[in-house]
Amino acid sequence: MPTMLRKQVYIAPRQERLLKTRASELHISESELIRDGIDKALQTGASTAHDPKGWDEERKFIASLMKKRAVKGGRKWTREELYDR
């Protein structure tokens, strides 16, 4: 195994649960799963950078929805009914 360097990162509790579960499913260490994830992210060029143009388009879309009037006669369902589906 190549020389390893120690890094500390902060992850959310949700990520911790998912990391433990997935590593267990794959029968590998959490560290191995993290290294694999880093490799995949760097190979695919994955980025968490925000696309300002995309956000502008999203704002315009939301604004267009907000300008629309409510449906005549109102809705025929309740939020609770949606949860029952």
The token pair at 58 is 């999203």
Q: Given this model, what pLDDT does residue 81 score?
A: 86
d(CA 9, CA 47): 17
Distance CA 65, CA 33 (A): 42
Q: How far apart are CA 22 and CA 53, in angstroms?
A: 35
What is the residue-level pLDDT of the chain in tens, covering all 85 positions? 679 999 999 999 999 999 999 999 999 999 999 999 999 988 876 566 677 888 899 999 999 988 887 777 777 888 888 887 6
Residue 40: CB partners within 8 Å, gap ≥ 6? Answer: 46
